[in-house]
Amino acid sequence: MKRFIVVFLLVLVTLFTLEMLTPVQQHVIVPFTGLLAQLSAAIVLPFDSSVVAYGKILQFGDSGFAVSIEAGCNGVEATIVLIAAVVAFPGSWRSRALAIGLGFLAVQAMNIVRIISLFYLGNWNLDIFTWVHLYLWPVLIMLDVLIVFILYLRWLSRADTEELAASNG
Amino acid sequence: MDEQRHLRQFLLFVFALLIPCFGLWTLASGPLALPAIGLVNIMLGNWFPDVVSALYAQGPEGLLMTEFGELNGAPVSPALSEYQLGFTLDTRILSYSIPFYTALHFATPKKDYLAGYLQGLLLLYILLVFGLLCLCMKELMMVLGPLFLEQQDVFVPPASVIALLYQLNILIVPTLAPAAIWAWQSRESPLAAALMGKFPAH
């Protein structure tokens, strides 16, 4: 347990510090955030003709309400927490890579739901948008990370049990 | 199958509890922030007496007043300005860790709920106070710049450290700390055993 905590904190702080570096922001985080905005727009546009998208901005043509998807809204921090937890827990590198890959997709899928839901909430009521944006969605994204990690631990536990049964049988 | 039932039940309880917990927190976020604002006011007043006038509570927000005035958008001596420079801080961007932790804690079957809950709350509150301190320092750095960072005979953390601590305390700690405290407190619970198997002892 001690080893888990030490490795977890070490990986977390290292990756978070790396994320904050200007070159990483410029070459990785900002383009990735732009990609998320484009993906969110691509999902919304076929269903809603009143929406216009440009760069990292989604806007309602009629009301003028717009959201700009910024760094900090891209699920990267949640992914960093997941990576730190998976790396800190004993397991093969293959299973770790698989958990991180699938976990990343789960976090980003949830994050796109977040972006789109906030876009529509903001057009409806700005106070509720602010409340949900600042306080509720970060919790839901972290719950997503927690569930992915629990499922990974269950999968590891089952794989161990099956391996043990196979070696005994 | 038992594991799936445990996980479903836990998630159902978490989502069911999140709504009332966030509702209560919204109502109580002002009084909840008061002790943290008071503590940070004492810390800032003693640490940066030439820069910080006071940190006041305004509901769930803190009003950080500086020892400077403002003229043409720039901080100046109060003698040159009619206004004292101050800014508001939202303590809820830190304290929403409390309803999240509450939902996780009470969604987990336990023998004793209260003692563990109070311990968890205390830890979260210490993190909240530290987070608020970082938030204040980041605002002082952004608004006052060299007036804050280059004080004579006062240790001020480097700008990059303040920026990193601020980001860490805003983006990661309020969601990670409740989950981590819950995981630590629940490591021996039947839920954890059913869901995860045994955590490695090393």
Q: Is B74 on the interface with A (CB under 8 A)?
A: no
pLDDT digit string, tens, across residues A138-150: 999 999 999 999 9
Q: How far is A137 from chain B (nearest CA, A)?
A: 10
Q: Closest-CA residue in chain A for B19?
A: A136
Q: Which of residues 125-144 of A touch B (CB under 8 A)?
A: 131, 134-136, 138-139, 141-143
Interface test with B, best of A139, A142, A149, A152 (most B CBs within 10 A): A139
Backbone angles phi, psi at B158, to 5 degrees: -60, 155
CB contact under 8 A, B175 and A138: yes
Q: Residue B201: which pLDDT band, with cuts at 50, 70 and 90?
A: very low
Q: Which two tokens stand for residue B192?
A: 């954890």
Q: Is B13 on the interface with A (CB under 8 A)?
A: no
CB contact under 8 A, B200 and A154: no
pLDDT digit string, tens, across residues A8-38: 999 999 999 999 899 999 999 988 988 888 8
pLDDT digit string, tens, across residues A110-138: 999 999 999 999 999 999 999 999 999 99
Q: Is the pLDDT of residue B9 over 60?
A: yes
Q: Is A17 on the interface with B (CB under 8 A)?
A: yes
Q: Closest-CA residue in chain B for A84?
A: B176
Find the CB nearest A135 among B14, B92, B202. B92
> For residue B70, what pLDDT is reported?
81
Average pLDDT over every residue of B167-195: 87
The DSSP code sequence of chain B is -HHHHHHHHHHHHHHHHHHHHHHHHHHHHHHHHHHHHHHHHHHHHHH-TTTEEEEEEETTEEEEEEEEEEETTEEE-GGG-SSEEEEEEETHHHHTHHHHHHHHHHTS--S--HHHHHHHHHHHHHHHHHHHHHHHHHHHHHHHTHHHHT-TT-----HHHHHHHHHIIIIIHHHHHHHHHHHHHTTTSHHHHHHH-PPP--
pLDDT digit string, tens, across residues B93-126: 999 999 999 999 999 988 888 999 999 999 999 9
> For residue B96, what pLDDT is reported?
96
Q: Is the pLDDT of residue B164 over 80?
A: yes
pLDDT digit string, tens, across residues A61-107: 888 889 988 877 889 999 999 999 999 999 899 999 999 999 999 99
CB contact under 8 A, B202 and A3: yes
**Cross-strand bridge partners of residue A51:** A60
Query: Residue A145: its chain B contacts at CB < 8 A?
Result: 179
Find the CB nearest B175 among A72, A139, A147. A139
> For residue B6, what pLDDT is reported?
78
Q: What is the ipTM of this complex?
A: 0.88
> For residue B202, what pLDDT is reported?
42
| Residue B190 or residue A100, greater confidence | A100
Query: Residue B163: its chain A contacts at CB < 8 A?
Result: 20
Q: Is A154 on the interface with B (CB under 8 A)?
A: yes
Range name among B21-30, B165-174, B181-190 with the lowest pLDDT average: B181-190
d(CA A127, CA A131): 6
Name the DSSP letter for residue A53: E
> For residue B137, what pLDDT is reported?
96
Q: Is A56 in contact with A37 (CB distance < 8 Å)?
A: yes
CB contact under 8 A, B172 and A154: no
The 3-state DSSP class for residue A85 equals helix
> For residue B196, what pLDDT is reported?
61
Average pLDDT over every residue of B44-61: 93
The 3-state DSSP class for residue A56 equals coil
Q: How far is A21 from chain B (nearest CA, A)?
A: 10
| Residue B175 or residue A156, greater confidence | B175
